[in-house]
Amino acid sequence: MKKLLYLICIACTLALYSCGSTKAYVGARQEKASLATINQGNNKLTIKNRKTKESALLIQVDSISVGNYFKGYPKHCDILPGTHTVEIRHFQQWNDNQAGAAAVGGVLGGAIGGVIAGSIAESNSPHKHYLITFDAVAGETYNIMAVTDPKTMDVDIYVTNAANEQRIKSSYKLKEEEKQ
């Protein structure tokens, strides 16, 4: 019985771990050389004498969903060459005051309690989504960055070539929240 429970736990973990998609295009798998790759950008900074971090979490590439709060966010995605619009979630660790709620809910209320607590934590977590548009070239790897100036708290969203960290031409805008 313990062995069966152990196997079920491993299977569920693998299923949840593999939910995020790294293929952000429609069609058959392509050769790696014919694709471009986008990476989640991460930044370490100090705000009010406290070390913290921020990330550009990958949500959607054009109309293809690649990640969300419940299934996770991929660290990278493969895309076809051309112009793409990528939706990111700007995660700011210093603003995520609800981070432990899902863990506490999971411990106290099991899986359902964890889902409910996680949903509440997500809805209360202050974050913004941005749309960034740029041209991708086959064989290249790009980092999508969200960087906050610790003095002014202004955010800069941009794309760099991962090989040389040079900025490439891109444009971004704050995504409008849908009215419900």
| Most confident segment among 3-7, 45-49, 109-113 | 45-49
Within 8 A by CB and 6+ apart from 26, the residues are 64
Residue 94, pLDDT score: 86
| Angle at CA of residue 69, ends 65 and 75, nearest 5° | 65
Q: pLDDT for 114-147, tens place per residue?
A: 556 555 555 556 689 999 999 999 999 999 999 9
Residue 24, pLDDT score: 86
Q: pLDDT for 60-75, tens place per residue?
A: 999 999 998 888 899 9
For residue 69, give the 3-state DSSP assignment.
coil
Angstrom distance (rounded) from CA 38 to CA 76: 5
Are 73 and 20 a contacting pair, CB within 8 Å? yes
pTM of the model: 0.75
Q: pLDDT for 102-118, tens place per residue?
A: 444 444 555 565 556 55
Residue 40, pLDDT score: 97
Q: pLDDT for 11-32, tens place per residue?
A: 444 444 445 568 888 888 889 9
